[in-house]
Amino acid sequence: MPQNITNLKILNNHLDELIVLEPRLLEARQKSGDVPLRLRKGGFEGMSSIITAQLLSVASANAIFARLENLLGEVSAKEYLKYSEQDICSCGFSKSKFNTMSNIAKAELSGQLDYSELENMPIDLAMKQLTALKGIGVWSAEIYLLFCVGHGDIFPAGDLVLQKMLAHIFELDEKPNEKQTRLMSEKWSPYRGAGARLLWRYFAVLKNKEGIKI
């Protein structure tokens, strides 16, 4: 397996290798300019930010997470469990998100979840460990491994932007579904993480220049 994507040099190396596997992505890379790393803090704080962002706009998620940070001081499992459901939900969280984050916090403190182990764990095992926690689905687990750990071979196939960009690049009549997207991206292994970052960046460029929409 290639290195985890933890800096821009590694990311660009992965992109170079990706273009060899899939030359049809060359135009996307040329038009996208610098592809951002998008690496974020891991652990409970990183997972909490991902849970917060589910089904919300970026602005709304950022505002809610900022209120959580203000409440807790330190966004950690230990601090989180000191507060009641009412306290946490007053920041803007739904009951289901409160429960999910509670499950994650308890799993960490009990030793069921060790974030440091995820960094070197095979992707299938890391996914299994994360999705075994109630409230953590495939998308949340993939996003955590992609951006908080930097695993190089993750492609969140359920993401609508990635589906849209595959349809655009490969000139499909309609966007592929999650299963089809996952099959299409298999050719890009073990550089699917770079592929996802490239497509998100390319979408941003096209949206700005051509008004492309999901």
Give the percent of the chain with pLDDT over 90.
88
Domain 8-38+154-209 has CATH 1.10.10.10: no
Which residue has 């689905």 as its token pair? 137
**Between 101 and 3, the higher pLDDT residue:** 101
Q: How confident is the model at residue 16 (pLDDT cuts 50, 70, 90)?
A: very high
* Overall average pLDDT of the 86-103 stretch: 96
pLDDT at 13 exceeding the cut of 70:
yes
Question: Residue 17 burial by CB count (10 A; 0-12/13-18/19+): exposed, middle or buried?
Answer: middle
Give domain limits for the chain.
8-38+154-209, 43-149
- As a whole number of angstroms, the longest Cα–Cα distance in the chain is 53
19-70 pLDDT, tens per residue? 999 999 999 999 999 999 999 999 999 999 999 998 888 899 999 999 999 9
Structure tokens at 175: 């966007």
Residue pair 192/155 in contact (Cβ under 8 Å)? The answer is yes
Q: Give the span between the Cα atoms of 201 and 135, in whole angstroms.
A: 29
In DSSP notation, 23-92 reads GGGHHHHHHH-SPP------HHHHHHHHHHHTTS-HHHHHHHHHHHHHHHSS--HHHHTTS-HHHHHTTT
Mean pLDDT of the chain: 93
Distances from the Cα of 172 to the Cα of 29, 84, 169, angstroms: 19, 49, 8
Using 50, 70 and 90 to split pLDDT, how confident is the model at 105? Answer: very high
Q: What is the pLDDT of residue 213?
A: 56
At residue 212, the pLDDT reads 53
Preceding omega of 190 cis (within 30 degrees of 0): yes
We find that the CATH architecture of domain 43-149 is Orthogonal Bundle (1.10)
Q: Are the beta carbons of 133 and 119 closer than 8 angstroms? A: no
Tokens 């051509």 belong to 210
Q: What value does the mean pLDDT take over residues 165-178? A: 94
Question: CB burial class (10 A; 0-12, 13-18, 19+) of residue 106?
Answer: middle
Tell me the mean pLDDT in the region 65-90.
96
Lowest mean pLDDT among 5-9, 153-157, 204-208: 204-208
Which tokens in the block code for residue 141? 């687990």
